[in-house]
C-alpha cells in the first residue's frame, strides 16, 4: 500500500494497471489437463483457436454487455480495434475476430504453460503493462502458480455442500445456508416473509466476508469459526422477521463484478464445476496488442487500507467472488452448480439450493425465479422487475430501500445426477447466452 502511495496511487480504479494481477487461468488449464485430462492441450484449444482466427458470432447478451462497455474499451487501441467498429459496439449477429489471441492459444497448446508465462508472449505482456504504468516483471509471470486446495463444506438438508475455500467467497454461501438451516422453508418460495429471511442471512454473512476474507497464504482466515454452528445460531438469532437489521458491522467495501461458469458431467460420471473470470465485463478494457490478451482487473477487489486483511501486497491474491459449487450425498456427487454475477454469487448459491432442497423445485424452474440481492453494508435491496412489483412495497415497509439492478441479476447453470434413473437433468439461465445441452 505504501509503495503505491509513493507513486501517488490513492485509489484503485477499474482501468488502473495496478488492478491487473498475473493471469492464472492458463496455469490452471494446463495443470488440470496434465493431471486429469485425456486429450492434448492443442486438441482442447483447437475449437477456440478456430473461432478466434476465423470469426465468431456476437451473441445477444454479449452484444448488450459490449455496448455498455464501449466507453471503457475505446481508449485502448488494441481492444477498440478488436471489439468495436468505428469506435462503436456492433450489434448482435456481427462477426468478431481475435487473431492475435488465436496465435497465443496455439502457442500454449503446442508448448504448454511456459509459452505464456515465459518467453516472447510474457515479454510482450510485461512490456505493455509497464508502458501503461504497471509494476509487473518477467519474474512475476514466471513465478505464477496455482494450487490444489481442500474445499470447505457444510451440511444442508441432508446434503454436503462443497465450495472453494478463501480467498474465494464460497465460505459465505455456506454461512448463509447455515443460518437458513434454522428457518425451514414452507409456503411460497417467493413470499416476502421467506425472502426477508434470505436477505437478512445474506447481509449478516456478507458483513463477515468484508471483515475476514483474504488470501489465507498471507493472513489468517478463521474458517472453523465462520462455519461453526455457534456462529450460525448467533446470527440467526439476530434476524427480526418483521424489520431490517439496522446496525450491521461497518467495513471497507470493495467492488465485486462478473464471471463465466460451466458445469459438465461425462458418461463415466466425472463431474466438473468450473469457473473463470476477468472480473468486470471486458475486464480492465486493456489489451496487449501482440498477444491479444484482454487483461482482467481482479486486483480491483483489493483494499488500500493497510490494516485490512485484504490489503494489496506483493504475491498476494485478492478476495475472489468466483465460486464453483458441488453437492454430494452418501459420498458421491449429485449436483454440479454455479451462479455467475460477481458478489451476488454467494447469495445466489444459497438462494438456489434452498429452493431446490426446501421447496423441491426442479433446476430450471429454480433458475428462472426472479432474484433479489441486498447490497453489502446497506439497507438497499436490488430486485428484478417481477419482485419489485409483487413484494417491493412490503420490503419498503420492513425498512429496506428497494431499487432496480443495473442489468439481469446473476446467471446459474446446474446438472443433477439421478443415479437411480441413470439420467442427467440440466438447467441454464435465460439471463445469459448459455444453454443446457446433452450430447
- Enzyme catalytic residues: 259
Neighbours of 169 (CB within 10 A): 27
Question: Per the structure block, which three cell numbers stand in for 53?
Answer: 482466427
Residues in Cβ contact with 66 at an 8 Å cutoff, skipping those fewer than 6 apart = 58, 73, 83, 89, 90, 282
- CB-CB contact of 223 with 166 (8 Å): yes
The whole-angstrom distance between residue 398's C-alpha and the CA centroid of its chain comes to: 30
Question: Per the structure block, which three cell numbers stand in for 109?
Answer: 497448446
Cα–Cα distance for residue pair 121/107, rounded to 1 Å: 9
Residue with cell 496465435: 103
Cα-based distances in Å from 78 to 24, 53, 70, 270, 318: 22, 16, 13, 39, 27
Main-chain phi, psi angles of 169, to 5 degrees: -95, 15
The whole-angstrom distance between residue 377's C-alpha and the CA centroid of its chain comes to: 20
Q: How many residues does the chain have?
A: 439
- CB-CB contact of 416 with 366 (8 Å): no
- CB-CB contact of 89 with 106 (8 Å): no
Cα-Cα end-to-end distance for the chain: 50
- CB-CB contact of 215 with 317 (8 Å): yes
Amino acid at each position: 500500500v505504501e509503495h503505491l502511495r509513493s507513486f501517488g496511487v490513492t485509489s484503485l480504479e477499474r482501468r488502473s494497471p495496478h488492478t491487473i494481477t498475473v493471469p492464472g487461468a492458463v496455469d490452471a488449464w494446463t495443470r488440470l489437463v496434465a493431471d486429469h485430462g485425456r486429450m492434448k492441450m492443442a486438441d482442447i484449444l483447437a475449437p477456440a483457436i478456430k473461432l478466434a482466427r476465423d470469426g465468431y458470432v456476437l451473441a445477444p447478451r454479449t452484444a448488450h454487455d459490449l455496448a455498455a462497455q464501449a466507453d471503457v474499451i475505446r481508449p485502448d487501441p488494441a481492444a477498440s480495434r478488436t471489439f468495436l467498429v468505428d469506435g462503436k459496439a456492433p450489434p448482435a449477429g456481427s462477426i468478431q475476430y481475435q487473431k492475435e489471441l488465436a496465435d497465443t492459444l496455439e502457442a500454449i497448446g503446442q508448448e504448454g504453460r511456459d509459452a505464456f508465462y515465459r518467453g516472447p508472449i510474457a515479454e510482450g505482456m510485461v512490456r505493455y503493462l509497464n508502458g501503461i504504468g504497471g509494476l509487473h516483471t518477467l519474474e512475476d509471470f514466471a513465478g505464477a502458480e496455482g494450487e490444489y486446495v481442500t474445499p470447505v463444506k457444510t451440511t444442508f438438508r441432508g446434503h454436503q455442500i462443497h465450495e472453494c475455500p478463501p480467498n474465494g467467497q464460497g465460505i459465505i454461501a455456506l454461512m448463509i445456508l447455515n443460518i437458513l438451516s434454522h428457518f425451514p422453508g414452507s409456503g411460497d418460495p417467493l413470499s416476502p416473509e421467506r425472502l426477508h429471511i434470505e436477505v437478512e442471512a445474506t447481509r449478516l454473512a456478507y458483513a463477515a466476508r468484508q471483515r475476514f476474507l483474504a488470501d489465507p497464504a498471507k493472513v489468517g482466515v478463521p474458517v472453523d469459526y465462520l462455519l461453526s454452528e455457534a456462529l450460525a445460531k448467533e446470527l440467526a438469532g439476530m434476524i427480526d422477521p418483521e424489520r431490517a437489521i439496522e446496525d450491521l458491522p461497518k467495513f471497507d467495501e470493495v467492488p465485486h463484478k462478473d464471471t463465466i461458469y460451466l458445469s459438465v458431467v461425462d458418461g463415466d460420471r466425472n463431474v466438473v464445476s468450473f469457473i473463470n473470470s476477468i472480473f468486470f465485463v471486458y475486464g480492465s478494457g486493456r489489451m496487449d496488442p501482440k498477444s491479444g490478451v484482454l487483461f482482467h482487473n481482479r486486483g480491483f477487489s483489493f483494499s488500500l487500507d493497510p490494516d485490512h486483511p485484504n490489503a494489496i501486497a506483493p504475491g498476494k491474491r485478492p478476495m475472489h467472488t468466483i465460486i464453483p459449487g458441488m453437492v454430494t450425498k452418501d459420498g458421491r456427487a449429485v449436483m454440479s452448480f454455479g451462479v455467475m454475477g460477481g458478489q451476488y454469487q454467494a447469495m445466489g448459491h444459497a438462494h438456489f439450493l434452498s429452493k431446490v432442497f426446501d421447496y423441491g423445485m426442479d433446476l430450471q424452474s429454480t433458475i428462472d425465479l426472479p432474484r433479489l440481492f441486498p447490497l453489502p453494508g446497506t439497507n438497499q435491496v436490488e430486485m428484478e422487475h417481477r419482485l419489485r412489483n409483487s413484494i417491493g412495497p412490503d420490503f419498503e415497509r420492513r425498512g429496506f430501500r428497494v431499487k432496480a439492478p443495473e442489468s439481469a441479476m446473476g446467471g446459474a447453470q446446474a446438472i443433477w445426477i439421478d443415479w437411480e434413473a441413470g439420467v442427467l437433468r440440466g438447467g441454464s439461465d435465460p439471463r445469459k447466452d448459455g444453454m443446457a445441452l446433452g450430447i
